[in-house]
Amino acid sequence: MAAPLVVAEIGLNHDGELWAAKTLISLAASLGVDFVKFQKRNIDVCYKRQYLDTRKVTKWGTTVRDEKLGLEFNEKQYDAIAEHCAKESIGWFASPYTPGDVAFLEKYNLPYTKIASQCVCNPVLMQAVHETGRKVIVSTGMCTKESLGDVVSFFGDSLIHILHCTLTYPTDDKDVNLSAMTTMQREYPTKKIGFSSHSQKIIYPVAAVALGAEMVEFHVTLDRNWDGPDHAASVGPVGFARIMSHIESLRVGRGSGIIAPHEGAIKKSSNYAWR
């Protein structure tokens, strides 16, 4: 069984702290993860002003705007992320939310651009991504069957990975719907189908691999109790390590599929009188 690509979604779980991002990058690298992923947004373009002005008391201030701005990295910080990923020999990419974010990320010559679930209904963003010519990953949390077909047609060969996703944080068991991934495998046999998890439970990325996911993505955090919007839908360091261990066990345990006794069983059976 080929190992799936594993993406550790750091996203905004660095809480605007570069040391936290670097710690998560190093943890992911030590566990054998293929990529870490971030989110890049121009807050004033991405969100409605009325929403940004909504009162919300956090460690960053008293409005949603304060929180969103506090969670965003600037160019110097992204330069440090790129440098640290290179040092740790781990890949990285990001989800842009506006055309300006697409242009910003072009500096880093990333292997993929990820279209977040919220952005599949943003044709201006998707056009900007398409024009870069980069390989694309799409999460399907806001897709109907018909709209996913439109996305696949729009990106064509540049769309490499389709990740089944449920856009609730954290996702209840009854809403995970892993069977949708199996449906996508039938519908799009030329695409690499995978799973993006928003569950706290480690079982779902592992189960997705057992079902043949070619890429699995899940949110990671240093502490689920930190401020910030995504920590509750993430796995901590212990759960992170367990997911990676289980995925490796599945890879090894899948075996060749050949029906034959193990050589150890043959040797042991030689002790029986009828052998």
Give, for all 275 residues of the chain, the pLDDT tens digit.
578 999 999 999 999 999 999 999 999 999 999 999 999 999 999 899 999 999 999 999 999 999 999 999 999 999 999 999 999 999 999 999 999 999 999 999 999 999 999 999 899 999 999 999 999 999 999 999 999 999 999 999 999 999 999 989 899 999 999 999 999 999 999 999 999 999 999 999 999 999 999 999 999 999 998 988 889 889 999 999 999 999 999 988 888 888 888 777 777 777 776 66
Asked if 255 and 192 touch (Cβ cutoff 8 Å), the reply is no
Angle between helices 203-210 and 237-254 (to 10 degrees): 20
Would you give the end-to-end CA distance of the chain in angstroms?
34
State phi, psi for 200 to the nearest 5 degrees.
-75, -20
- Tell me what pLDDT residue 270 has: 73
Residues making up the chain, counted from first to last? 275
Give the pair of three-digit tokens for residue 107: 């500096």
Q: What number of other Cβ atoms are within 10 A of residue 144's Cβ?
A: 9
State the Cα–Cα distance between residues 4 and 153, nearest whole angstrom: 25
Looking at domain 5-269, its CATH class is alpha beta
- Tell me what pLDDT residue 83 has: 98
Domain limits, the chain? 5-269
State the Cα–Cα distance between residues 50 and 17, nearest whole angstrom: 27
